[in-house]
Amino acid sequence: MMFQPQRQKKLALLAALTLVSLLHPREVLAKGIQDKSCYHREQLTGDWLGGRSWLEEHGITFNLNVANFYQGVARGGLDQRFANGGHGDYVTNFQLGKLGFNEGLFLKLRVEHRFGENINGATGAFFPTALPTDLPVADNEELLLTNVLFTQALSERFAIFFGKLDTLDGDPNAFAHGRGMSQFMNAAMVANPIALRTVPYATLGCGFAILGEEGEPLFSFTLLNAVDTAETDGFNELFAEGVAIATELRLPTRFFDLPGHQLFAGTWNSREFVELGQDSRIVLPNVPINQADGSWSLYWNFDQYLFVDSRNPKNGWGVFGRAAIADAKSNPLEWFLSFGVGGNSPIGERGADTFGLGWFYSGTSDEIGPFIQTAFGPVGDGQGVELFYNYAATPWLHITPDLQVLMPARENAETALVVGLRVVMTL
């Protein structure tokens, strides 16, 4: 694609602004060191001699995180061992209106990678115990570009988006979301796993969103390429195997005069399903199944605060739940349930800490189950419990002890007791 001269100038300006921050020019250095002490600053690397705040003034912000997970199967499962692995998540947001482009135009770039080892295959369960350690692609430690997402706000209540996007931010929930980096770690508690069959992790797509009063999406419609292209740009595969559609309606509520949400959603994928396939978000064998043309899922979630801190309305705790059904002919999960409690810590002045206790139950498809048995032996339904406490040692350093008790769908695997520690640094 050839760029027009005006567009070339804008792109050159965008590149120059980023380069300026790296070289610390006189204008940036003149600001001097404005950082707080290392203990109190929001990011470990601080303000970069004023460069970070200068870029933010010009519409460029960074959210850079590195997480390390040390987990082990202390009892049961398939293999009692410990492993250390991690995930790097580097997000840059551009308010392109401040850089001479269209007003209300935004660009989000995400580069991520995994490193080390994990125990996701040692428990006997279908869901990874630490989802980020398998993302964006299991057994691949390269830096991968999973988001190049343009969003154009056409009004205060309506926006369109297009580009390469990852879908892990879907199915949002106040107490059970966080991409496995800030709340629960188990894939079953981060988002509804029943939609994974129909929605790729990272691929090309477009859509629109209707926004609420605070800018949060009330309704979104997304049209996606049917297959995952996290390791490529995706243009050669675009719609070659079909399309995927995802819609979500998330309504704010005020039950008990406290905030909450009710989410209703559905997905559909038109591709032909002839095998289970390997997906980093679920631990399943790659075995053939009966051909199925297309697949669908319907899911619901809710979050409801039961307490809100009068001194800080953003802090509180409450309950959450999820439920879902899917096409049993093509989806290894026919239905799913979860429920739990979570939020900010009620302990003294530890309002920056968070906690969660959740339970999930997954119903294995009677039609797909026999194919899984060829690789895993007898299978039934699976369930599990996860408990975590996220301790904010500093604003940029969070340490999370985590305990999981998993009763795998694989009947030849004993109940697994998983203990772990997550350390997340904001750079």
DSSP, collapsed to helix, strand or coil, labels residue 168 as coil
3 CB-contact burial (10 Å; exposed 0-12 / middle 13-18 / buried 19+) = exposed
Check pLDDT > 50 for residue 92.
yes
Q: What is the pLDDT of residues 227-263, one digit of tens each?
A: 999 999 999 989 999 999 999 999 999 999 999 999 9
Query: SS3 of 370, please?
Result: helix
> How would residue 71 be classed by pLDDT, with cut points 50, 70 and 90?
very high
Tell me how far apart the alpha carbons of residues 349 and 347 are, in angstroms, rounded to a whole number: 6
d(CA 344, CA 3) in angstroms, rounded, equals: 48
d(CA 282, CA 407): 15
Q: Confidence class of residue 39 from pLDDT cuts 50, 70 and 90? A: confident
Residue 64, pLDDT score:
96
d(CA 239, CA 55): 37
pLDDT-based confidence at residue 215 (cuts at 50, 70, 90): confident
How many residues does this entry show for the chain? Answer: 427
- Residue by residue, DSSP assigns 59-73 as TEEEEEEEEEEEEEE
Judged on CB neighbours under 10 Å (0-12, 13-18, 19+), 224 is buried
With a pLDDT cut of 70, the percent of the chain lying above it is 92
Confidence band of 348 (pLDDT split at 50, 70, 90): confident
pLDDT in tens, 155-197: 999 999 999 999 999 999 999 999 999 999 999 999 999 999 9
Please name the amino acid found at residue 181: M
Question: Which tokens belong to 61?
Answer: 């912000």
What are the structural domains of the chain? 7-58 (no CATH), 69-426 (2.40.160.180)
Q: What is the mean pLDDT of residues 356-360?
A: 98
User: Judging by beta carbons within 10 Å of its beta carbon (0-12, 13-18, 19+), is residue 107 exposed, middle or buried?
Assistant: buried
| 318-323, long-range: CB < 8 A, 24+ apart | 318/174, 318/175, 318/258, 318/260, 318/342, 318/343, 319/175, 320/173, 320/174, 320/175, 320/176, 320/358, 322/171, 322/173, 322/176, 322/192, 322/360, 323/299
Amino acid at 275: E
**CA 357 – CA 335 distance, rounded (Å):** 21
Q: Which one has a higher pLDDT value, 349 or 255?
A: 255
What DSSP assignment string belongs to 189-222? HHS-GGGGGTS-SEEEEEEEEEE-TTS-EEEEEE
Cis peptide before 193 (omega within 30 of 0): no
Confidence check: pLDDT of 98 > 70: yes
Q: Which position has the higher pLDDT, 399 or 346?
A: 399
Task: Please report, to the nearest 10 degrees, the dihedral formed by the alpha carbons of residues 393, 399, 401, 404 taken in order.
Answer: 140
Percent pLDDT > 90 in the chain is 76
Three-class secondary structure of residue 413 per DSSP = coil
Rg for the chain, CA atoms, rounded: 22
For 5-35, how does the pLDDT look when each residue is reduced to its tens digit (9 = 90+)?
Answer: 444 444 444 444 444 333 343 343 334 334 4
Phi, psi of 195 (to 5 degrees): -85, -5
Whether the pLDDT of residue 291 is over 90: the answer is no
